[in-house]
């Protein structure tokens, strides 16, 4: 550490080439002249900061999670002085639940710098996956001079986008419609079906289909469906057919 004399004055001291060891308490004294010699002083703390060279690092996150599955991830901010303050966010909401967070003491590196680590652990629920996706973000801060974040997105295993779900419901839940002269069956009545055969629906506009069915239904439903009982087959769009 050197004092820049040319830029210093009676009221100001300018330092250059400061190091981590330059941190400490600095004191200024003012003494009046004889014969009284009154003394006044003031002091303040100065902290030299060595900032991280990169954004925080996330590890442990998978690409997808099932509902009810355990999530365990860590956020690490490497090599700084002092250690960065870390925070976790789930879908842009700050995690305040202490039982979600696993705190570790800063790790002191050989060169005097410190590494900060904050863990996040919780069990997924429906609320964590709006639109089938969950965002995990870690923010690292040091005083007012450093702010960096890292984010990852994970998806819900087996999530079906709404448009696809609606399309499947449109085909599967069309109970009572006629296809090629044969009655369809509600989707909840079907245990399994494999389709084939050709025809055209009576819908507007008409829909060509190719399906022939070998169906396996609960006995009570089969007995109450004359067409099925007589021919051992029936067809409905969207369940194994090609259109």
Domain span at residue 98 reads 57-156
Q: How far apart are CA 242 and CA 237, in angstroms?
A: 8
Instruction: Count other Cβ atoms within 10 Å, centred on residue 71.
Output: 19
Name the pLDDT band for 35 (thresholds 50, 70, 90): confident
Residue 19 shares a structural domain with residue 105 = no
Q: Residues 196, 211: contact at Cβ < 8 Å?
A: yes
Residue 130 shares a structural domain with residue 100 = yes
Q: How far apart are CA 185 and CA 213, in angstroms?
A: 12
Residue 100 shares a structural domain with residue 188 = no
Q: Looking at the 3D structure of the chain, how many domains does it have?
A: 3
Q: Is residue 218 part of a domain?
A: yes
Residue 7 shares a structural domain with residue 33 = yes
Name the pLDDT band for 50 (thresholds 50, 70, 90): very high
Name the pLDDT band for 29 (thresholds 50, 70, 90): confident
Q: How far apart are CA 71 and CA 55, in angstroms?
A: 22
Is the pLDDT at 36 greater than 60? The verdict is yes
Q: Residues 104, 73, 113, CA angle at the centre, nearest 5°?
A: 40
Write the pLDDT tens digit of every residue in 98-130.
999 999 999 999 988 999 999 999 999 999 999
Residue 68 shares a structural domain with residue 143 = yes
Q: How far apart are CA 241 and CA 121, in angstroms?
A: 45
Name the pLDDT band for 88 (thresholds 50, 70, 90): very high
Residue 147 shares a structural domain with residue 221 = no
Q: How far apart are CA 72 and CA 74, in angstroms?
A: 7
**Between 109 and 163, residue with greater pLDDT:** 109
Beta-sheet pairing, 64-65 with 146-156: parallel
148 Cβ contact partners less than 8 Å away, ≥ 6 residues apart: 52, 54, 55, 56, 77, 139, 140
Q: How far is CA 137 from CA 31, 43, 58, 86, 126, in A?
A: 54, 40, 9, 10, 19
Q: What predicted TM-score, i.e. pTM, was given to this entire model?
A: 0.59
Task: Over range 14-40, report the average pLDDT.
Answer: 83
């Amino acid at each position: 550490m050197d004092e820049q004399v040319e830029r210093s004055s009676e009221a100001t001291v300018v330092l250059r080439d400061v190091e981590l060891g330059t941190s400490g308490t600095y004191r200024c004294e003012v003494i009046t002249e004889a014969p009284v010699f009154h003394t006044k002083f003031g002091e303040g703390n100065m902290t030299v900061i060595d900032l991280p060279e990169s954004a925080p690092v996330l590890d442990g996150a998978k690409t997808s999670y099932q509902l009810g599955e355990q999530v365990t991830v860590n956020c690490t901010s490497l090599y700084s002085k002092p250690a960065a303050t870390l925070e976790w966010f789930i879908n842009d909401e700050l995690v305040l639940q202490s039982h979600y967070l696993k705190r570790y003491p800063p790790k002191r590196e050989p060169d005097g710098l410190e590494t900060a680590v904050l863990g996040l652990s919780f069990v997924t629920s429906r609320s964590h996956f709006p639109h089938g996706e969950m965002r995990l973000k870690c923010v690292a801060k040091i005083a007012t001079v450093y702010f960096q974040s890292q984010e990852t997105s994970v998806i819900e295993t087996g999530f079906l986008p709404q448009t696809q779900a609606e399309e499947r419901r449109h085909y599967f839940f069309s109970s009572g419609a006629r296809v090629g002269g044969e009655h369809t069956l509600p989707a909840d009545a079907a245990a399994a079906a494999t389709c084939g055969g050709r025809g055209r629906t009576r819908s507007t506009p008409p829909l060509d289909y190719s399906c022939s069915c070998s169906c396996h239904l609960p006995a009570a439903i089969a007995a109450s469906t004359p067409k099925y009982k007589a021919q051992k087959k029936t067809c409905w769009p969207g369940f194994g057919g090609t259109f």
